[in-house]
Chain A
Amino acid sequence: MRLFTRFIALLLVGGLATLAGAGASGAQTVVGVTPTEIKIGNTNPYSGPASAYGTIGKVIGAYFKKVNDEGGVNGRKINYITLDDQYSPPKTVEMVRRLVEQDQVALLFQTLGTPPNSAIHKYVNQQKVPHLFVATGATKWNDPKAFPWTMGYQPNYQTEGRIYAAYVLKNMPDAKVGILYQNDDYGKDYLKGFEDGLGDAAKKLIVMRQSYEVTDPTIDSQIVNLKNSGANVFFNITIPKFAVQAIKKANDIGWKPLHFLNNVSSSLGTVLKPAGLEASRGLITALYMKEITDPQWKNDKGFTDWVAFMKKYYPEGAMDDQSNAFGYNVAILMTQVLKQCGNDLSRENIMKQAASVKDFELPLLLPGIKVNTSPTDHAPIEQEQLAKFDGEKWALFGEVLDAFRK
């Protein structure tokens, strides 16, 4: 046994000595690019609790197939490698390291979820891999000073919360506001944006805050409490399942406040129809995308193009799932960045081009909403427009609001 221990020790020392001799190799800047292809890496939850989002990863793949069928970008085909991370951060780390170190992708695109992206945030910035258009509404992805290789995509939750606050201050200065929120970062981000937007008036205007856990079976008692508080404005920060319950319950007990419904649950198909179109009349939300289940876009060019695309390249995808519109939009933005890169597909240039998108319109964004980035602005979409549900569709009103241009 002693001999054996000594042997191991010897081996360790020998090994370490060899290692000490080896120097670090210089970092390459052009990775994952050949004259005929560019490798793009992605993680999505294809299994596990968040697998409903997995369709985003699939529709992106379908769009890149369309790009490739049409000749690729500047003569290069997109080799899209998407892996299942089950929405589990350790798995994301493993899969992203595989993409970066083994598959040698040029960039990471649309990795999905706040916790998974938090787990790889530092790593990708140390490795200097472009980490583009991440699929999460958290606010922290727009931090180009500390994390120059990471970039967000959709309007973040705080921005949206501020937009509702501005509306309340302007139109109902002596409102009594009741809030229902999901007790996690998503809910708290909205709450913070809303409270920050109200500023000093928050203390006076907000009469009640109620929260729920994502695992709760119902939120009926919270709705009853909110009604009893005498609130005449209701800010409803809930995911679709609970949004349906909240709209129904408020209607059942005859509570008719001015009802702000967060964008997360603005889908006609999955929220308003199940909750009842009549009960949903008068809801206000902030939108940045065209709701694909909304009849007003039936003859819109962006929408009909998307329908044609879905039929040809992703026939198994659901036509009433907004995620399929979301993935289509963001894949078009990615393709645009690659086009802008021209023939210089170094990681530095990919990042530089991603940070110089100017007034770019995506087919399923609301008219007037444009993508803008700069080296100091890693939040591509920062505009939204308010809409009121008229019993049939979201009727847009007012102008396009920009959270950072007041």
Chain B
Amino acid sequence: MASGSGGETKTAERAAAAARGGLADRPLGVAAVVVVLLIAVSLPFIMSGFRLFQFTQVLTYSIALLGLNLLTGYNGQFSLGHGAFYGIGAYTTAIMIDRWDIGYGWTILVAGIVCLVVGFLFGRPALRLEGLYLALATFSLALAVPQILKYFEHWTGGSQGIVLSKPKAPFGLRLTEDQWLYYLTLAVTIVLFVLAWNLLRGRVGRAIVAIRDNHIAAEAMGINNARYKSVVFGVSAAYTGIAGALSALAIAFVAPDSFNILLSITLLTGIVIGGFATISGAVYGALFVQFVPNWAQDISKAAPWAIFGVFLIVFMYVMPRGIAGFLHLVWIRLTASAVSREQGR
């Protein structure tokens, strides 16, 4: 998947242009976000514990996907190893709660910081690697982390993992554990999405995209490629780490088997299906990776992955730019025809 083809650049320009425009220029877009948020906030009153738990998973996935999309979609650095950061985030939270009895709220923050540092340090030497070579280097990270976790058995509990208790709702709120976790995750998700949106629509965002599209030109314009790339790696890892931390709380258990190589591939699948280099794509991708494997299993117990593969191929054929790109296209068609009707043409 070499970047820099005409189509991708154009989409990126359009997306960047759209992102640059303030909220006021796009009343319909704002309305859509409000509707989505309203639905998100009211879900706990519609759904039972199990369904709500699934949507908590969707939210954590969407944070991780957004993190990966920052790196891969916007900055053009391929990672097959983000499951590793997800695992590091989850273990940071689990170890802090289990060993030191630290409040879970803090552990989420620390998980983000730990992954930021690890991601930055990994991103530094990885600067020398491009495209597929970087993908392989990150792949090795995903392979190594579950074993490293087993090695530090004193801290990580080895392959038995660490069992946690689910956090109870604070301030005497009469929420179930599932409802509280959902709201906590939703709040973190909203904050991280707003931050990412803010980051990408400004100067920094343009620099990140410019490096992906043509790193020599970017360098010539005075962008410090090395610094940007490793910082983006760190931020991306931090997002994914926070997602891991939230998932550890929701599942109340961590084990090396939870963070196998399939997780990293699932995340990459999510951003491609959701929409490369789009913010909303993270949410669509998260819905996909959470629910489609389950549907595949309901359709066929014998070969769920074959069914999942068919879903993937169909999606890629019908929506080559991911779900976000597809919806964008539909949106443009609709508004364009509305405008032309108004003008009586």
Residues in A lying within 8 Å of B, measured CB to CB: 1, 4, 7-8, 11-12, 15-16, 18-20, 46-49, 82-84, 86-90, 93-94, 97-98, 100-102, 113-116, 118-119, 121-123, 138, 183-185, 188, 213, 215
Contact = CB atoms under 8 A, between A and B. Distances in A.
Given A47-B305, A90-B251, A118 B41 contact: no
A119 B34 contact: no
Q: Report the interface size class on chain B.
A: 35 or more
Interface stretch (B7-15, B48-56, B106-114): B48-56
A20 B255 CA distance: 35
B257 A88 contact: yes
B158 A185 contact: yes
Nearest to A15: B45
Interface in B41-99: 41-42, 44-45, 48-51, 53-54, 57
Interface string B23-37: 100000010001001
B147 interface: yes
Contacts of B49: 97, 101
Interface stretch (B173-181, B215-223, B325-333): B173-181
Given A89-B255, A97-B53, A185 B159 contact: yes
A213 B53 CA distance: 35
Given A46-B301, A215-B147, A88 B159 contact: no
A119 B255 contact: yes
B50 to A, nearest CB: 4
6 contacts: A15-B44, A16-B175, A89-B255, A89-B257, A102-B48, A115-B255
Interface in B252-309: 252-258, 260, 262, 297, 301, 304-305
A7 B51 CA distance: 25
B41 A15 contact: yes
A118 B161 contact: yes
B251 A89 contact: yes
B258 A84 contact: no
Contacts of B41: 8, 11-12, 15
A87 B48 CA distance: 25
A97 to B, nearest CB: 4
Given A19-B179, A94-B54, A215-B147, A118 B301 contact: no
DSSP majority for the A interface? helix
B160 A115 contact: yes
A98 B258 contact: no
Contacts of B260: 48-49, 88
Contact of B50 (A15, A48, A102): A102
B150 A184 contact: yes
Contacts of B305: 47
Contacts of B45: 15, 18-19
B163 interface: yes
A138 B304 CA distance: 29
B147 A118 contact: no
Nearest to B175: A19
Contacts of B161: 89, 115, 118-119
Given A88-B260, A93-B251, A215-B147, A118 B179 contact: no
B38 interface: yes
A184 B158 contact: yes
A4 B53 CA distance: 27
A183 B150 contact: yes
A254 B38 CA distance: 74
Contacts of B138: none
Given A19-B45, A19-B174, A90-B258, A114 B160 contact: yes
Given A8-B41, A15-B41, A98-B50, 16 more contacts: A15-B45, A18-B45, A19-B175, A89-B251, A89-B253, A90-B247, A90-B253, A94-B53, A97-B53, A115-B255, A118-B161, A119-B251, A119-B252, A119-B253, A119-B255, A184-B150
A120 to B, nearest CB: 8
B38 A83 contact: no
A105 to B, nearest CB: 12
Contact of A118 (B34, B175, B255): B255
A213 B159 CA distance: 12
B240 to A, nearest CB: 15
B263 to A, nearest CB: 8
